[in-house]
Amino acid sequence: MPTIILQTSVKCTDKQKNILAKELSKICAAQLNKPETYVMSIVRDDVTVFFGGKTKQAAMLEVSSIGGLNPTVNAAFSKAICEFLSESIKIDSDCVYINFTNIKGENWGWNSKTFA
C-alpha cells in the first residue's frame, strides 16, 4: 500500500525511469519496513518546475502509507531519497520537496475493497 511518486524536471530515458522507480520502491519498503510487494512507485520526468524564483533541476515527491510514517522515519526517508536523487540524476538536496502522508486504511482502496 505504500506509494511513492516522483515528479522531476530532469528528462530521463526509459531505462533511467525504470531504475528510478525500482530504487525508489526499494527505499520506500526499507524505510517503512514494509514488504516491497505492496509498494507502488511512479516516476514523472520532464515536468516544468519553478523553484526559488527560477526554473531549475528539482523534484517533488509524495510518499503515502497506511501507518509507518513518523518524524524519525520521515527524516531518515528524506535523507535516503535526497542522497539517491543527488547520485542518480544530480538534483541538489535543497531542490527536493517531499510530502509524507499517513492515510487511514478505510481511505485506501485496493483489489475491489479497502484496507479497513
The string of DSSP codes covering 54-77 is EE-S-EEEEEEESS---HHHHHHH
Largest CA distance in the chain: 44
Residues of the domain holding 59: 3-114
pLDDT of 21 > 90? The answer is yes
pLDDT surpasses 90 at 60: yes
pLDDT band at 56 (very low <50, low <70, confident <90, very high): confident
Is pLDDT of 53 > 90? Answer: no
Mean per-residue pLDDT, 59-75: 97
How many domains would you assign to the chain? 1
Amino acid at 67: G
Tell me, what CATH number does 73's domain have?
Answer: 3.30.429.10
Catalytic residue positions?
2
What Cα–Cα distance (Å) separates residue 100 from each residue in 16, 69, 94? 24, 7, 17
Q: What is the pLDDT of residues 82-114, one digit of tens each?
A: 999 999 999 999 999 999 999 999 999 999 999
Phi/psi at 66 (nearest 5 deg)? -90, 100
